[in-house]
Structure 1
Amino acid sequence: MENSKICIIRNDKIGDVLLTCPMMHTIKENWPSAHITVIVNELTYPIVKRVSSVDEVIVDYRQQFRVSNLVLVKKVADELKKQEFDHIFFAYMDPLYIVAAALANIKNRIGDGNNLILSRFITKKVSISWHDFTKHEIEQQIRLLEPFSDEPLSIASPEFMFDDDLKNDVKALLDSDAIENGYIVIHPSYGEGNRGWPAQEYANLIDLIQTRTSLRVVVTGSDKEKDIVDVIFEQTETKPINLVSKTTIDQLLGLIKESQCVIGAETGPTHMATLCKRPVISISPTKYTKPFRWGPFGTNHVVIKDNESCDLICHTYKKNCQEDYCLKNIKIEHVFSAVNFIINQEKFPKNQLYYWFKTSATVAILIEDLSDDNALEATINLLKQENIRWFLCTSKQSIKETLSGVYDNIFLANEYNLKKWVMQFSVSDVTVIHALSKPNRLWIESIKKLVALKLDREPVVVEDSSTFTNIKDLLDCYLSQTKELSMTSK
């Protein structure tokens, strides 16, 4: 792609745009002479303008031309044709731009090949496997570059250009204590697919930080979070710095870059912290939102999550849950301990994929015979040592009777009662089904597909009766199987 004109379409939400910035920088690192244009919406324009590897930023033509969709497609096609792009990458599969790029006859149109309708307009299809929990959103975007490289590409961290004016603007927002002693940013908002930690808990956390450390707390957000923020400021005894609706988006980026730590759900500001290599405390309560895809990538972080007591199917896009199981287990002292821990660490976690598995995965151990109970005992012991959620499942009454004196978390159902199996795996939010003996292929595939209808992802089936002696080998077995499935789905 040397000496070529490249366009990247990413005209959606702030967090998604931020997680595509490494792709922009990776292109420039590998093809330095490429000219990169990014099409974004008005809100994210100031951020992408500060990415050093981007040559030009264009505001979404929807926001420039106020015309009907039919006229708009033609206008966008004309604009794309004028630019004479050689390649157009659909980091966001926007139907308008996909059709317009085809009308403009752009030679290389690269996007996710799994969309049966839109992929007809894509000339270079990359099959993005969203059930592959070994791939973060950043890594999935990098995969769009696969058609142009024979070797896997290393992810390049984007560099943001911070001029003196922006630095002075940020200082003007802070008080002298924050400038001298440092500060933590708390962003109580949360994106779709997640739930927010209660405002009262944030208020208590702020008081802990500002009484037990020398750090100040800065609260950020927009008018959408006014109700939450009002409660926080009413309940805090040690008042934090209130920057809600008082920063531009690039000022927020500059503020986060100079912070000691960012606390909040997996949303725009925590993604900013990730790209600026600032420590993150990720408070993402729901089972549905997992760090595998959206967590802090490549920066020091702690994930705060405890779904042990939740016995509901979690799909926050489909159902607005009113229960508080996932919220009440997140204790203030745990978050405060995480703050003290993470700001003093050189590198944590050492292996983020292992760490994400330990904090967010559930393993169902499928056992249909007891010919090798050493493998069963070894697997359970390793999972218990690392506090990874697990349970046993079987269709054999005799196996449950034999093991019930040793283990109390055994699920039993007739093999043909698919409804019961699917409900159990969905409620338990199963990530891996570890089969210690070979299951019926049609049966297990049916369960996977039916669970995917409820959770939007398939559990990974691992058939392995090895007696593992350490957790690294066991997790490598789970993760390598997932990667193999992802490769075969291309």
Structure 2
Amino acid sequence: MGASFENILVIKLRYIGDVLLTTPLLRVLRKQYPQAKITVLVNPGTEAVLENNPCVDRVAVLPRGNVLQQVPFLRFIRSCRFDCVIDLSDGDRSAFLTAISGAPMKVGLNHEGRWRGKVYSWALAGRYGTMPMVDYHSQVLIPLGLSPRPYAPELHVSPEEDQAADQILERHGLNNSKWIMLHPAARYWFKAWPPDRFAALGDALVKEGFQVVIVGSENERSTADFVTRAAQLKLISFVGQTSIRQLAALMKKCSLFVGNDAGPMHMAAAVDCPVLALFGPTDPVVWGPWGEKCQIIYKGLDCRECFHPGCSRGEMSCMNLIGGEEVLVAAKRILEKNAHFL
């Protein structure tokens, strides 16, 4: 039996997919501490994936700006009087916020063995990059006397968001159609399958009798527009037309999601949408989507040499090794397997 806590702060200052991968840990904490107030601190733009999550009482968003501009927020963190802080960010900024909190129990990840380890009551070196991120996060439960549970990432869509998604589909004439969602962008270009292959895949799926929808944020419009222009047949673009929450609601209603290793891939898996994920420089063992309806195409090329700041292998890159025909075959196989969901 672990220690008892009443006011817990969980810090994850990363991206949308990273925040979603913390939700299994939040489920464990809620089960263990049903009366505790659980606050999650995240970066701006990622908070939406935690809305309506029954394991979270409050989502705090770290303001943008330098330390001086963030002084009021730092005072807020201090005033909350957390009795336990769990830092899942594995970074210096989150370690500083952990120290500011003044919590008597501070647990964090420190795989690099940096100075921040001295901030925590327990600093876990872990085996970063060798296990699924959900399991990597769960190491912080050990000092609390808790055991990991086999929970999957969660994303909770409200009835109002479901209704908004239905209205979007109706406007585009998709409410009674079989349709597939493609997300051709990625945070880093070398994690993205070539956009001309997404266009060809879209054409092939339209020929199979599906409507094809391209999704992405406004920042990803150039990639999405290239795909729609390169396609020979009509592809529908939802780029910049939905909020994160509306996109999640739409994912619940589509026949298949095909995309790169990025936040939308994890969102689709979290709402139980069939997923075909295309991986290159990142390891799907660590970053892959969770769920029985998820399939991954990955060539296993060791990209550690050139992952940062960019790819240097050119046409021999890990994403270019993924052929269009094999993606189409895999997509059709998933669609046939999940035909009773269509």
Cα distance 1:77–1:51, how it changes in 2: closer, same or farther (>3 A)? same
1:257-406 correspondence runs (5 A): 257-284=252-279, 286=280, 288-306=281-299, 314-321=305-312, 323-325=314-316, 326-345=318-337
Deviation at 1:313, TM superposition (A): 6.8
* 1:50 equivalent in alignment to 2:52: yes
- 2:164 maps to 169
* Unaligned runs of at least 5 residues, structure 2: none
* Unaligned runs of at least 5 residues, structure 1: 347-490
- 1:117 maps to 115
- 1:102 maps to 99
Contact 1:194 1:289 in 2 (8 A): no
1:72-471 correspondence runs (5 A): 72=70, 75-114=72-111, 115-132=113-130, 135-149=131-145, 152-175=147-170, 178-192=174-188, 194-213=190-209, 215-284=210-279, 286=280, 288-306=281-299, 314-321=305-312, 323-325=314-316, 326-345=318-337
How far, CA to CA, are the matches of 2:327 and 2:119 in structure 1?
47
| Structure (1 or 2) with the larger CA radius of gyration | 1
Contact 2:24 2:154 in 1 (8 A): no
Deviation at 1:314, TM superposition (A): 4.1
- 2:14 maps to 12
How far, CA to CA, are the matches of 1:24 and 1:92 in structure 2?
14
Cα distance 1:39–1:196, how it changes in 2: closer, same or farther (>3 A)? same
SS at match of 2:212: strand
Deviation at 1:106, TM superposition (A): 0.8
- 1:467 maps to none
SS at match of 1:179: coil
Deviation at 1:202, TM superposition (A): 0.9
- Runs (4+) of structure 1 exceeding 6 A deviation are none
How far, CA to CA, are the matches of 1:305 and 1:156 in structure 2?
25
Contact 1:193 1:315 in 2 (8 A): no
How far, CA to CA, are the matches of 2:157 and 2:19 in structure 1?
18
Cα distance 1:265–1:294, how it changes in 2: closer, same or farther (>3 A)? same
Contact 2:180 2:211 in 1 (8 A): yes
How far, CA to CA, are the matches of 1:126 and 1:247 in structure 2?
39
How far, CA to CA, are the matches of 1:163 and 1:274 in structure 2?
17
How far, CA to CA, are the matches of 2:198 and 2:156 in structure 1?
32
Task: Note the aligned Cα RMSD (angstroms).
Answer: 2.5
Report how many residues are paired: 333
How far, CA to CA, are the matches of 2:164 and 2:108 in structure 1?
39
Deviation at 1:18, TM superposition (A): 1.5
Deviations 1:220-277 (A, max 9, x none): 1123333322221112232122111111111111111222221111110001122222
Letter in 1 for 2:218: D
Cα distance 1:264–1:39, how it changes in 2: closer, same or farther (>3 A)? same
SS at match of 1:174: helix
SS at match of 2:213: strand
Deviations 1:193-233 (A, max 9, x none): 843222221111111111113x3211111233333222211
Deviation at 1:177, TM superposition (A): 5.3
Contact 1:281 1:303 in 2 (8 A): yes
Cα distance 1:198–1:53, how it changes in 2: closer, same or farther (>3 A)? same
**Percent identity, aligned pairs only?**
23
How far, CA to CA, are the matches of 2:166 and 2:9 in structure 1?
35
Contact 1:10 1:92 in 2 (8 A): yes
Deviation at 1:129, TM superposition (A): 0.7
TM-score by length of 2: 0.88
Deviation at 1:76, TM superposition (A): 4.2
How far, CA to CA, are the matches of 2:267 and 2:187 in structure 1?
14
Contact 1:199 1:228 in 2 (8 A): yes
Contact 1:77 1:101 in 2 (8 A): no
Letter in 1 for 2:187: G
TM-score by length of 1: 0.63
Letter in 2 for 1:33: Q
How far, CA to CA, are the matches of 1:180 and 1:129 in structure 2?
47
Deviation at 1:161, TM superposition (A): 3.5
SS at match of 2:336: coil
How far, CA to CA, are the matches of 1:291 and 1:253 in structure 2?
22
- 1:24 maps to 26
Deviations 1:125-177 (A, max 9, x none): 22221142xx2011111221121235x32132354432232112212222465
Cα distance 1:71–1:45, how it changes in 2: closer, same or farther (>3 A)? closer
Deviation at 1:45, TM superposition (A): 1.7
Contact 1:25 1:158 in 2 (8 A): no
Deviations 1:49-86 (A, max 9, x none): 232211111121x33xx5x52574x5444222211211
Cα distance 1:221–1:337, how it changes in 2: closer, same or farther (>3 A)? same
How far, CA to CA, are the matches of 1:149 and 1:184 in structure 2?
44
Contact 2:133 2:287 in 1 (8 A): yes
